[in-house]
């Protein structure tokens, strides 16, 4: 009997020693903690910012590098603890920088930081690349007290590099895994941002989207993701794909946290002309729109694009539609948004703008640039056996064949894209049906990661908002076999307040977010 009890104790101790949860992280009770809860704990003296940062760094080591090894982090900030001590001292003297004072954040590694970390877009050719200044949104995050904890792995060049690819794979960072099931894909180019925030390696993260790269990883990782109107947040200091479609945005575990993070990053930036359009259309505090009961009296278009492709996803979504109706919404079925051919127009725009944007970005790095031009990047990438192991990087070649932004082909594609996605797209459909917003399925269950065949998205609704440059918010609506499924609300330009209100109301009606359990990892 004694031997049996001893064996049981030893087994328990062994399991505990293999657990991915760092002891300090667990002792502080940080799992699923919100920005507000963390700020209140600082104010109450429950723990210090330094203790919190130490706990998150230990958890990154335990979960990201060891244990399940989800591989969402490409580099940790070596100054994070020292910054935390400084912020502790400021708080002790009665000074708070803002709503994010002492809040850890992880940035996608295409966002410039002027510190000891590099900004690489996951490319081996960019290893060690040091920008000359912070991105505009990084300046805003620091001004508001956030601690840049680490840089997140991503799909190389934000997934605009090859004829097919695996989301979350980069030549420099390897393959990021989905924390709900480590054999499955985290989706989208902001894969590391999604996996890290979901696995509680940070309080929130920042991703970027050209088409689906915030919404898809947010859906696949059980997060709230805001893809704002293009121009609400500056893109200066972010390695670009498209001047027309690119935007950063917050990825969080609650709508409230997303609203707080969004407001902390807004601002007109002279280095990004698109942000001039945000004047009069932005708020530094989006928490004022966290109101329940938003569905009462609203006319919401049900975008059917992703429906009919996965019966279990459809069944889950249909339940949510009944929930919206029971809370006062009138639903209008919408089969198509925008004129045909918008996808081809968008692709042409991206090719031209990728070439132009990359060459300007490389020039911004000065004399110490690791890559000097798209020509140089192609030469270094195609001669690197590891970069060429799985994927062809054909989009780099296609983009390089394009002319400048004065080209007739580009100008025509851009004009057609705007007309088809706005004038004949979201704006036209909303006016015709007197809609307040749209609702749709964000994406399907995460697929098995496959470097042989590449991604298998299955279904998506990101394109109407992405191609038009309009806002889109996704949040969890449920799970299929333990894998998160997202629901999204999108609409006209600058309607973030309404979309946040709808998302918050929905979250209160259906609070299904749960922390991942690293399925298929043997503890």
DSSP reduced 3-state for 252 = strand
DSSP reduced 3-state for 169 = strand
Tell me: pLDDT of 15 over 60: no
pLDDT digits (tens, 9 = 90+) for 441-458: 999 999 999 999 999 998
- Residue 285 domain-assigned (yes or no): yes
309 Cβ contact list (under 8 Å, min separation 6)? 444, 458, 459
- Residue 2 domain-assigned (yes or no): no
- Residue 516 domain-assigned (yes or no): no
10 falls in which pLDDT band (50, 70, 90)?
A: very low
DSSP reduced 3-state for 205 = strand
pLDDT of residue 339: 85
Number of domains in the chain: 1
DSSP reduced 3-state for 480 = strand
Long-range CB contacts for residues 24-32, cutoff 8 Å, separation at least 24 = 24/51, 24/54, 24/55, 24/58, 25/55, 25/56, 25/58, 25/59, 25/62, 25/200, 27/55, 28/52, 28/55, 30/55, 30/56, 30/59, 30/200, 31/200, 31/515, 32/200, 32/253, 32/513, 32/515
396 falls in which pLDDT band (50, 70, 90)?
A: very high
For residues 65 and 75, give the distance between their C-alpha atoms in angstroms, rounded to a whole number: 11
pLDDT digits (tens, 9 = 90+) for 297-353: 999 999 999 999 999 999 999 999 999 999 999 999 999 999 899 999 999 999 999
- Residue 250 domain-assigned (yes or no): yes
- Residue 105 domain-assigned (yes or no): yes
Radius of gyration of the chain (CA): 22
Tokens standing for residue 44:
């109450």
Catalytic residues: 108, 189, 213
Strands (DSSP E) found in 66-218: 73-76, 104-108, 147-152, 169-170, 174-175, 204-209
- Residue 144 domain-assigned (yes or no): yes
Q: Range of 441's domain?
A: 19-509
pLDDT of residue 11: 39
Tokens standing for residue 267:
């601002």
For residues 354 and 360, give the distance between their C-alpha atoms in angstroms, rounded to a whole number: 10
Q: To the nearest whole percent, how much of the chain has pLDDT over 90? A: 94
DSSP reduced 3-state for 225 = strand
Tokens standing for residue 59:
């958890």
Tell me: pLDDT of 190 over 80: yes
- Residue 56 domain-assigned (yes or no): yes
- Residue 8 domain-assigned (yes or no): no
Q: What is the CATH number of the domain that holds 387?
A: 3.90.1300.10
523 falls in which pLDDT band (50, 70, 90)?
A: low
Q: What secondary structure does DSSP assign to 407-453, as a single string?
A: -HHHHHHHHHHHIIIIIIIIHHHHHHHT-SEEEEE-B-SPPBP-TTT
What pTM value is reported for the model?
Answer: 0.95
């Amino acid at each position: 009997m004694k031997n049996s009890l001893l064996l049981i104790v030893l087994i328990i101790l062994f399991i505990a020693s293999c657990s991915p949860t760092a002891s300090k992280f667990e002792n502080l009770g940080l799992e699923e903690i919100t920005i507000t809860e963390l700020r209140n704990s600082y104010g109450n003296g429950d723990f210090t910012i330094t203790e919190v940062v130490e706990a998150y760094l230990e958890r990154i080591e335990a979960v990201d590098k060891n244990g399940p090894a989800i591989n969402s982090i490409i580099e940790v900030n070596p100054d994070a603890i020292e910054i935390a001590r400084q912020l502790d001292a400021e708080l002790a003297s009665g000074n708070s920088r803002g709503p994010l004072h002492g809040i850890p954040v992880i940035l996608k590694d295409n966002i410039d930081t002027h510190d000891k970390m590099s900004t690489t877009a996951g490319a081996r050719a960019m290893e060690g690349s040091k920008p000359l200044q912070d991105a505009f949104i990084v300046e805003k995050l620091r001004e508001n007290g956030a601690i840049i904890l680490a840089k997140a792995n991503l799909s190389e060049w934000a997934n605009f590099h090859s004829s097919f690819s695996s989301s979350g794979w980069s030549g420099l960072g390897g393959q990021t895994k989905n924390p709900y099931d480590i054999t499955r894909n985290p989706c989208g180019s902001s894969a590391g941002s999604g996996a890290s925030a979901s696995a509680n390696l940070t309080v929130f993260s920042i991703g970027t989207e050209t088409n689906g790269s915030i919404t898809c990883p947010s859906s696949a990782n059980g997060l709230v993701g805001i893809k704002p109107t293009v121009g609400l947040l500056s893109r200066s200091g972010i390695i670009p794909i498209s001047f027309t479609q690119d935007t950063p945005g917050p990825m969080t575990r609650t709508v409230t946290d997303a609203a707080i993070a969004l407001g902390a990053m807004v601002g007109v930036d002279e280095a990004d002309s698109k942000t001039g359009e945000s004047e009069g259309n932005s708020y530094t505090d989006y928490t004022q729109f966290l109101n329940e009961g938003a569905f009462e009296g609203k006319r919401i278009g049900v975008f059917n694009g992703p429906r009919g492709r996965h019966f279990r996803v459809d069944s889950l979504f249909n339940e949510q539609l009944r929930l919206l109706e029971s809370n006062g919404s009138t639903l209008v079925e919408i089969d198509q948004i925008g004129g045909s051919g918008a996808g081809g127009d968008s692709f042409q725009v991206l090719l031209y703008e990728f070439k132009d944007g990359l060459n300007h970005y490389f020039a911004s790095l000065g004399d110490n640039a690791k890559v000097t031009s798209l020509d140089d990047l192609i030469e270094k990438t195609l001669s690197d056996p590891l970069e060429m192991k799985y994927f062809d990087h054909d989009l780099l070649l296609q983009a390089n064949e394009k002319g400048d932004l004065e080209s007739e082909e580009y100008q025509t594609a851009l004009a057609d894209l705007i007309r088809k996605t706005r004038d004949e797209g979201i704006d036209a459909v909303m006016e015709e049906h007197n809609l307040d917003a749209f609702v749709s399925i964000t994406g399907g269950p995460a697929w098995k990661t496959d470097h042989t065949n590449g991604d298998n998205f299955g279904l998506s609704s990101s394109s109407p908002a992405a191609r038009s440059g309009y806002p889109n918010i996704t949040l969890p609506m449920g799970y299929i076999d333990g894998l998160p499924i997202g629901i999204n609300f999108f609409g006209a330009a600058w309607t973030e307040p309404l979309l946040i209100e709808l998302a918050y109301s929905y979250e209160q009606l259906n609070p299904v977010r749960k922390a991942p359990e690293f399925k298929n990892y043997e503890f």
